[in-house]
Amino acid sequence: MQKLVVRFVILVGFVLFGVTAGNAENVKVSSPDGAVIVTVGVKNHRPFYMVDYEGKTLVAPSHLGYLIADGELGAHAKMGKVVRSSKDETWTQPWGECETTRNHYNELIVSFREKTGHPMLVVFRVFNDGFGFRYILPDSRKGQAYQIMDELTELTLSHDAQAWSIPSNHTEYFEGIYKKDLLSKKDTVCTPLTIEYEKDLFLAIHEAALEDYASINLTPRFGDGGAVRLLTALTPWRNGVKVYAQGEMKSPWRTMIISKTAGGLLTSNLMLNLNEPSQIKDMSWIEPGRYIGIWWSIHKKQNTWELGPTHGATTENVKRYMDFAARHGFSGVLAEGWNPGWGQGEKISYLESYPDFDMDEVTRYGLQKGVRFIGHTETWGNATLLENQMEQAFSWFERLGIRAVKTGYVGRYFDGKELAKSQYGIRHYRRVIECAAKHHVMIDNHEPAMPTGIQRTWPNLMTQEGVRGQEYNAWDRRGGNPPSHTVTLPFTRGLAGPTDFTPAIFNFSEIVPGTHPHSTLAKQLGEFVVIYSPLQMAADAIENYEGQPALSFIESCPTTWSRTLVPNGEIGKYITIARKERGGDRWFIGSITNEEARHLDVVLDFLDEATTYRAVIYEDGPEADFERHPYEMTIRQITVTKGDTLHLRLARSGGVAIRIEKL
């Protein structure tokens, strides 16, 4: 159950009078600690906002507004009523990277009215670690539908800076390599957009609570005096309309996290706090966990999705995986390719299985061993096909005790016509999540829109892909993911939410010359902690885990946490994450690096006072190297107490995984 403790709420409303020539006195709202100050006003009839941080301008005056099919909001505006409020509350999610979250902000709601009479409200919430704002367009058209042709929001940074991003164009499913370059040199980019703005000042720009709307993209343009303007570029429908609206319209929140360290971006809960509390009252069936699957063997061409002599999802093979899962403490087994219609478009069925796969027998067999079958509903982009079957399919899964389903959308367009991250796709994803919740089914969404924190509202949305994942290390003709990839993801894609990257490959054999995980074995273990997902897949085939001492770390590692810390990290170079298990006293640490070997120190100041712990350390061996000796790993134990320092040595593209438990 989601617990909520509200400390205080203050509401003050007043009206600004004496508005002349479309201008009014600017209004301000600051973060609770006073470091972040947002100023809102009207200049030359156009609404704007600006942001100061610790006395310096961070966001220069930036335009607010919309282009509607019947006119523009923000071209000839006057500022009207202003409402202020504050909130300080603590809430608990059933799973996550921390158990309790403080939601502390000051709010400012500013109303604007266009000369046409149409109103526009902008809601600003300012936190100690950043801010978010959203539009509310009241129902001034008395229920009539209208079309948003463009959102005219700007975010103007005072100067150029290095940033990590993937381009919106020519990047399908967000499966790209995040590259560093000056903002001014970038094409239109997806968010999150991560910026090293100044020495010891990092920013992350994204959105929160994306519901019945289009996904955001940003187009950089040089402004006056060296400033860089980021222009909103919403993902359109095929006909060019960005958003269809009716009645009152609420946009997603436009968000910026502000941190003095790169690691501070990861521990911000700003995006989650801007989403609504859970709509699911009884969450007892929502179960994080680690699982295995018939997946890597398919990508390695040892099995097939389709029916045939090497079909992976057979009754016998799935039972074999379930036996392994029961022996080693995995809660589930995924099997892709269990249902007919693979490669046959509209003939896909989620209501029956291939003749060599007995769904009733597999689920019965697994449940008696304490292992649940994880379903899979690949659509190849035929979103309507899933919608037409999902009520029956999820009802069937519920009766069989299937609690989790991996959805997939490998296809450039939904239903052959619309982009997945357009409003069309966002509506589809929401319908699936809500239908699944009705039948007590958790969702692992592949080929998604970029996550925006709605797992707070719908906590059965456990994890999502939207990342260039492990499978590229099986078949990518360019050689797979570079060593810097997984030390960049936590600071970029990871800021959007749980990431189904599928770590923990133990066998680096190749089917494409030169293509394999470019890491050491110890780094694969470290990634299991660093890349967060409450449904975390140990992705290798079970044959590669048998008899492997490294598996003992995976067997012990939880997937939901009470605390998360980032002791050190530089984007694209290295990162260390420490997490405390939920409902227990153990800590788990993952540390990984890029193609450079390095030494890192981790101070154990987060341990309990006057307590002795045992640290079990899985680390690169003396000769370990991702190119020459990737498998060399040592396991050692030491005794530690609060304040001790761990001296870690990471090989090139290496890592460390540590379990710390009370003696």
Q: What confidence score (pLDDT) does residue 343 get? A: 73
Residue 571 maps to which CATH number?
3.20.20.70
Give a three-class secondary structure readout of 261-284. Answer: CHHHHHHCCHHHHCCCCCCCCCCC
Does some domain include residue 160?
Answer: yes
Q: What confidence score (pLDDT) does residue 625 get? A: 98
- Please, what sign has the CA dihedral across residues 421, 424, 427, 428? negative
Residue 229 maps to which CATH number?
2.70.98.10
Does some domain include residue 291?
Answer: no
Predicted confidence (pLDDT) per residue in 317-362, tens digit: 999 999 999 999 999 999 999 999 987 767 899 999 999 999 999 9
Cα 151 to Cα 103, 165, 386, 496, distances in angstroms: 28, 21, 31, 21
Q: Which domain holds residue 522?
A: 485-663
Number of compact structural domains in the chain:
2
Does some domain include residue 449?
Answer: no
What percent of the chain lies above the pLDDT cut of 90?
Answer: 93
Supply the pTM of this predicted model: 0.96
Strands annotated E in 310-449: 332-335, 372-378, 404-408, 442-445
Domain finish residue from 273, 288, 312: 273
Given a cut of 50, the residues of the chain with pLDDT beneath it are: 1-23
Strands annotated E in 493-644: 535-537, 561-570, 574-581, 587-593, 598-603, 613-620, 633-640
CA trace torsion 471, 476, 478, 482 (10° rounding): 10
Does some domain include residue 439?
Answer: no
Domain finish residue from 212, 243, 273: 273
Contacts (Cβ under 8 Å, ≥6 apart) of 647? 599, 601
Does some domain include residue 269?
Answer: yes
3-state secondary structure of 249: strand
Domain finish residue from 273, 300, 326: 273
Beta bridge partners of 537: 291
In the chain, the N- to C-terminal Cα span, in Å, equals 32
Does some domain include residue 473?
Answer: no
Does some domain include residue 457?
Answer: no
Q: What confidence score (pLDDT) does residue 24 get? A: 63
Does some domain include residue 316?
Answer: no
CB burial of 336-358 (b: ≥16 within 10 Å; e: otherwise) equals bbbbbbbeeeeebebeebbeebb
Cβ atoms within 10 A of the Cβ of 622, count? 10
Q: Which two tokens stand for residue 309?
A: 């002599």
Selection from 96, 112, 121, 205 nearest residue 157 by Cα: 205
